[in-house]
Amino acid sequence: MRGTRVRILVVGIASGALALSALATTHAAADPANGPYVALGDSYTAGPFIPDLTGDPITCGRSTGNYPSLVARELGSTSFTDASCSGATTEHMTHAQKPVLFGTNQPQFDRLNKDVRVVTLGIGGNDADLIDTVSACIANGAVDSPGPDEAPCADAQQVDGRDRLAARIDAVGPKVAEVLRGIHERAPGARVFVVGYPAVLPSPADASCREPLSLTEGDVVYLTARLRQLDGELADAARANEATFVDTYTSGVGHDACKPATVRWVEPVLPGNAAFPLHPNANGMADTAADVARAIRAS
C-alpha cells in the first residue's frame, strides 16, 4: 500500500513538472517579444560594409552585425527576416528594388504575414535625399574651402525663400504613415517600431567637422536641424499610426562622425572602421540594437 502511494506521488510530481514545463514553453512561444520578427528599411538598417555581409541580393549590403540581427539574437526571435536594402525608399515597401550593380530586392512587404509579431522600420532618409545632400555639402566644402562663419550648404537649399531640403523632409511623414498602415494591414498581430536616425553630426555644433567632413559650424547646425526634423516626422507618423518611435539620436550624441575612430559610432567620408561613409559602424549598430530591444521589451 505504501509503495502504491509512493508511486502515485512520483507520478503526480512528474505530471506536474511536465505541465509546468509545457506551460512555460507555451508562454515563451506566445511572448510577442520573441515571436517572428521582420526588419524593413534602408542602409541605416542594412549596415553595409559591417561584417559579415549576407542576404540576397548581396548588393543590398545587409550585415549579420546590423541592429535587426543583433535584436533578433538578443530577444531569441523564433524566426527572423531582414528585408532591408541600401538605397531603399518608402516606395520599395511595395515595389521591387534594383540595387547598385546587380540583383533585385523584392518588395519588402512581401516578407510580412499574419504570423509576424514584431516589425521594425527604418526608412525616410532616401525619400528626402538627406544623406546625398550631406555628401554634396561635404564635396563642395572640400573644393570651395568656405570661411568659418559661412554656411554654403544651408544657403544652397534656399530657393525663392523656401528651404528645399526642409520641404522634402516635410513630405516624408505622410509617406511613412502610409507604410505603417500597410504594415498593420499585412501583419495585424505585429507590434511596430519606427527606428529613427542616429547622431551623424555633433550637437552642439563645433569646429570638429572642419577637417574630416569639410563642414562649417553653420552647416553642421543646419544639417543637424534637418536630421532632427526627419526624426520628428518619423515620430509623428508612428504616434498617429499605432507604432512606437525608437529614438537612437540621443544615445549617440558625442559619438558622431567627426569624433576620433575609437569614439565615433558613425563613420566619416574616409572610414576608419568597417562601415559605409556617414553610416553607423558596428558600435553604432550595437547602440541602436540596445535602444530597439529596450523598446520592444517595454511595449
Catalytic residues: 43, 279
Count the neighbouring beta carbons within 10 Å of the beta carbon of residue 226: 21
- Any bridge partners for residue 239, and if so which? none
Contact predicate 97/105, CB 8 Å: yes
Contact predicate 245/163, CB 8 Å: no
3-state secondary structure of 283: helix
3-state secondary structure of 285: helix
- Any bridge partners for residue 63, and if so which? 53
Q: Which three cell numbers stand for residue 59?
A: 548588393
Nearest-angstrom CA–CA distance, 242 and 92: 21
Buried (b) or exposed (e) across 212-223, using 16+ Cβ within 10 A? bbbbbbbbbbbb
Q: Which three cell numbers stand for residue 135?
A: 555628401
Nearest Cα neighbor of 184 from 257, 109, 247 is 109
